[in-house]
């Protein structure tokens, strides 16, 4: 896998011993994921008081300085020691410290899903994560029930609990939400090119996706792709792999995906072309796409996806190179602070 982005560190395997699970493609009897309940573990942090706050000063529609500063003040009032990292290089150096997991209480991502993805990839194994949503979509925070009020989150960090969720790994990079191969990845690549100019980084809003979507529709990415998922093979124009039941604009693409089952949910859209994309989109809006004869889906621990030259890949909304790509689940790899 050829990986794009701003330098992607190598990661130690965070997963415990594999859990025995069925990889059946059927959804019968499968409980929907809920942010609270089963999976809650012991209180976070012990006696550790230091908190690493990773804030994105650019991000989406508005500045994240005010929520980050409000959270730092709320933590300080509770006797904790918050440290806010604004610059990406400073944050990376701090989170790369292997002693961080033993000497700090947790890391906090203040921002959207892009900030969450960066922090997950930068912080050491074993360090719990809290999220203060301040982005455009906030899919991770919404799925896990993270509060958007600094005072509520500060109380959760002080007295709250953690729940273990799975992560995915594609190549050398971790993801918490999903992987896209094909059209939606082409859109992510185009958005990233528009955001980054020479020596600049422009904030992104939902409106900035319009031109990349139109550009991707004019020039559809090459295909097809072939998916090999725990011995099952499927072939199509586009592929999506989910850890959380979350997609842009809250579309119900993988509503049954669970981040605590040791499996990844995959979907292959077989037909190429603009008309097929329109039909798939309408089917998703009706939650009828998985019943179509030209849609394959299932669950797996490991996937290998190959395609023609320059079939784009995205992880959690950010460009991540091109096929081929190896994807695997890391069961119960991340502790998330919950209220």
Question: CATH no. for residue 142?
Answer: 3.40.50.10330
Q: How far is residue 129's CA from residue 127's CA, in Å, rounded to a whole number? A: 7
If one counts every other C-beta atom within 10 angstroms of the C-beta of residue 47, the result is 5
Q: Evaluate the CA torsion angle 49, 331, 236, 247 in order and state its sign.
A: negative
- The pLDDT score that the predictor gives to residue 239 is 97
Domain-embedded: residue 10: no
Domain-embedded: residue 100: yes
Domain-embedded: residue 14: no
- The pLDDT score that the predictor gives to residue 20 is 34
Domain-embedded: residue 230: yes
* C-alpha Rg value of the chain to the nearest Å: 19
Tell me if 304 sits within 8 A of 231, measured CB to CB: no
- Say how far residue 186 (Cα) sits from the centre of its chain: 17
Same domain, 181 and 327: yes
Domain-embedded: residue 3: no
pLDDT in tens, 295-321: 999 999 999 999 987 899 999 999 999
Same domain, 208 and 280: yes
pLDDT in tens, 113-167: 989 999 999 998 889 999 999 887 899 999 999 999 999 999 999 986 899 999 9
Question: How far lies 202's CA from each of 62, 66, 254, in Å?
Answer: 12, 19, 31
Supply the CATH number for residue 189's domain. 2.60.200.40
290 has pLDDT over 50: yes
176 has pLDDT over 70: yes
Same domain, 286 and 195: yes
Backbone angles phi, psi at 236, to 5 degrees: -170, -170
Same domain, 136 and 201: no
The pTM of this model reads 0.84
Same domain, 154 and 89: yes
List the end-to-end C-alpha distance of the chain, in Å, as a whole number.
Answer: 38
Same domain, 178 and 320: yes
201 has pLDDT over 90: no
What's the domain range around 105? 45-159
Same domain, 84 and 220: no
pLDDT band at 32 (very low <50, low <70, confident <90, very high): very low
The residue with tokens 């693409």 is 253
- The pLDDT score that the predictor gives to residue 18 is 39
Same domain, 313 and 233: yes
DSSP letters for 223-256:
--EEEEETTEEEEESEEEEESSS--GGG--SSTT
Same domain, 55 and 81: yes
- The pLDDT score that the predictor gives to residue 169 is 98
The domain boundary, picked from 114, 132, 159, lies at 159
267-296 b/e with 16+ CB inside 10 Å = b?
bbbbbbeeebbebbeebbeeeebbeeeebb
Q: Please report, rounded to a whole number, the percentage of residues in the chain having pLDDT higher than 70.
A: 80
Pairing of strands 50-55, 81-85: parallel
pLDDT in tens, 35-57: 544 455 556 666 688 999 998 76
The domain boundary, picked from 97, 124, 159, lies at 159
- The pLDDT score that the predictor gives to residue 259 is 96
| Average pLDDT, integer, range 92-121 | 89
Domain-embedded: residue 190: yes
| Domain total in the chain | 2
Same domain, 130 and 196: no
Please give the mean pLDDT across all residues of the chain: 84
Sheet architecture: strand order including 312-315: 295-300, 264-269, 238-242, 178-181, 312-315, 318-322
| Average pLDDT, integer, range 177-203 | 78
Q: Evaluate the CA torsion angle 223, 192, 219, 247 in order and state its sign.
A: positive
Tell me if 170 sits within 8 A of 337, measured CB to CB: no
Task: Please count the residues of the chain.
Answer: 339
Same domain, 95 and 239: no
Domain-embedded: residue 249: yes
Question: How far lies 295's CA from each of 34, 160, 203, 217, 236, in Å?
Answer: 26, 41, 35, 20, 9
Q: Which two tokens stand for residue 167?
A: 């992560």
Same domain, 212 and 107: no
pLDDT band at 98 (very low <50, low <70, confident <90, very high): confident
- The pLDDT score that the predictor gives to residue 96 is 84
Helices (runs of H) and strands (runs of E) counted in the chain: 9, 17
CA atoms in the 13 A half-sphere facing the CB of 320? 30
The domain boundary, picked from 159, 189, 220, lies at 159
Domain-embedded: residue 318: yes
């Amino acid at each position: 896998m050829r990986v794009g982005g701003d330098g992607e560190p190598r990661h130690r395997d965070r997963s415990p011993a594999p859990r025995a699970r069925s990889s059946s493609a059927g959804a019968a009897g499968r409980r929907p994921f809920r942010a609270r309940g089963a999976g809650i573990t012991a209180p976070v942090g012990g006696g550790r008081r230091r908190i690493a706050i990773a804030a994105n000063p650019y991000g989406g529609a508005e500045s994240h300085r005010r929520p980050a500063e409000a959270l730092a003040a709320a933590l300080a009032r509770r006797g904790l020691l918050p440290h806010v990292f604004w610059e990406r290089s400073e944050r990376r150096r701090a989170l790369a410290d292997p002693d961080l997991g033993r000497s700090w209480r947790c890391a906090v991502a203040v921002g959207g899903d892009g900030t969450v993805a960066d922090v997950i990839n930068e912080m050491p194994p074993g360090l719990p994560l809290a999220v203060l949503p301040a982005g455009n979509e906030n899919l991770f925070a919404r799925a896990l029930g993270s509060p958007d009020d600094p005072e509520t989150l500060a109380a959760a960090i002080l007295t709250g609990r953690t729940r273990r969720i799975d992560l995915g790994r594609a190549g050398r990079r971790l993801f918490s939400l999903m992987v896209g191969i094909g059209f939606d990845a082409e859109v992510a690549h185009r958005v990233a090119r528009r955001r980054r100019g020479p020596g600049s980084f422009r904030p992104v809003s939902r409106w900035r996706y319009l031109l990349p979507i139109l550009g991707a529709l004019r020039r559809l990415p090459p295909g097809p792709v072939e998916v090999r998922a725990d011995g099952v093979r499927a072939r199509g124009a586009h592929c999506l792999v989910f850890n959380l039941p979350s997609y842009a604009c809250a579309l119900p693409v993988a509503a049954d995906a669970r981040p605590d089952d040791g499996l990844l949910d995959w979907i292959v859209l077989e037909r190429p072309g603009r008309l097929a994309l329109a039909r798939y989109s309408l089917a998703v809006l009706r939650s009828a796409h998985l019943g179509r004869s030209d849609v394959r889906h299932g669950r797996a621990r490991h996937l290998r996806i190959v395609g023609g030259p320059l079939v784009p890949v995205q992880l959690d909304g950010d460009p991540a190179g091109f096929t081929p790509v190896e994807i695997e689940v890391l069961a119960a790899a991340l502790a998330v602070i919950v209220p």
